[in-house]
Amino acid sequence: MLFIVPFAIAALIFMVYPVAEAVRLAFYDHNPLRPDASEFIGLENFRTIFADPLFWQSFRQAAIWTFASIVLQTVIGVALALLLHLPLRGISIFRGLLLFPYIVPTVVIALILQWMLNAEIGVVNWSLRGAGVIDDNVYWLATPSMAMLSTILLNVWKYTPFVTICVLARLQTIPLELYDAAKVDGAGALRRFVDITLPQLAEVLVVVVIFRTIWTFNKFEEIYLLTKGGPGTSTFNLAIYSFEQSVANLKMGVGAATGVVMMMLLFAGSLLYMRVFRFAEDDSA
């Protein structure tokens, strides 16, 4: 019982207090350079963000970014898991490599992508030109739509393996008898995939998609390190909006209010998750 005490103390200082403080700040006008002039202003910060076109732009861009990333991650991730599930020789080498992108620091992949996607001297433009795909250099990080695409690519590169590993683990538990029975009944490969594999995967896919959506929506470093939210504000999401309000505009209250909105969305997502799985119930074991 005493063993819980350090956790309780640490949780209070490092988890509960910061979150409570973040919520409190959202109702204050707080300038980090003049902390004594902090003042309670009620819902004013929320009014500010909801009236700010940039907030809604960031929201929209975050939604696009998240949606595109999740769709690509899920489709590629499942396809890869199905491939890795095939009984091929030497396939365990690939399975081992899968986790690699996850351990590469976001800073590192962002630096490398800035170098590879460099418009003038980057290897990507050079290869695409050589292959005849493009005639002129693509300004990957300097045009809004391409910058968005680049951040999506970074995200997909780094987190698709997560989907693959979760799906692969589930695939390995599908009883083979199901497939044998279907084969006897004359079901083709596609039929077996649609009727057996997909329903079996449905549950893990829902979990993975909800979790990845929540996390992707709130990502900061994956975008900030590659484009700083730019060019202009074309790759801002809510996390970057909140950061810029707090750091560049010195409006910690506005930044915190954005954080509160993000938290509400997150809790809505988590509730959805718990609703789907009635998660607390299986705790009786």
Q: What part of residues 120-149 is at the interface with other proteins (CB under 8 A)?
A: 121, 123, 126, 130
| SS3 (DSSP) at 28 | strand
As a whole number of Å, the end-to-end CA separation of the chain is 20
Taking CB under 8 A as the rule, which mask of x and - marks residues 28-67 in contact with other proteins? -------x--------------------------------
* 177, 281, 282, 283: which one binds other proteins (CB under 8 A): 283
Q: Please report whether residue 152 would count as binding other proteins according to CB under 8 A.
A: no
User: Does an H or E element contain 75, and which?
Assistant: helix 53-85
* 43, 63, 71, 104: which one binds other proteins (CB under 8 A): 104
User: Residue 99 phi/psi, 5° resolution?
Assistant: -75, -10
Buried b (16+ CB within 10 A) or exposed e, 4-19: eeeeeeeeeeeeeeee
Instruction: CB nearer to other proteins: give 107 or 198.
Output: 107
Q: Please report whether residue 259 would count as binding other proteins according to CB under 8 A.
A: yes
In whole angstroms, how close is the CB of 68 to other proteins at the nearest point? Answer: 17
* 71, 75, 99, 202: which one binds other proteins (CB under 8 A): 99
Size of the site for other proteins (CB under 8 A): 78
Which amino acid would we find at residue 113? L
Contacts of range 79-82, beta carbons closer than 8 Å, 24 or more positions apart: 80/160, 80/164, 81/163, 81/164, 81/165, 81/167, 81/168, 81/171, 82/171, 82/193, 82/197
In whole angstroms, how close is the CB of 181 to other proteins at the nearest point? Answer: 20
Q: Please report whether residue 21 would count as binding other proteins according to CB under 8 A.
A: yes
Is the peptide bond between 161 and the residue preceding it cis, with omega within 30 degrees of 0?
no
Residues 169-198 that bind other proteins (CB under 8 A): 169
Residues 68-97 that bind other proteins (CB under 8 A): 80, 83-84, 86, 88, 91, 94, 96-97
Q: Please report whether residue 14 would count as binding other proteins according to CB under 8 A.
A: yes
User: Does an H or E element contain 40, and which?
Assistant: strand 39-40
Angstrom CA distances, 104 to 80, 94, 108, 141, 172, stand at 20, 17, 7, 21, 27
* 59, 138, 158, 257: which one binds other proteins (CB under 8 A): 158
* 78, 166, 205, 257: which one binds other proteins (CB under 8 A): 166
Residues 198-257 that bind other proteins (CB under 8 A): 214-215, 218-221, 224-225, 239, 242-243, 246-247, 252, 255-256
How many whole angstroms from its chain centre is CA 256? 20
Which two tokens mark 245?
A: 């309000």
In whole angstroms, how close is the CB of 103 to other proteins at the nearest point? Answer: 5
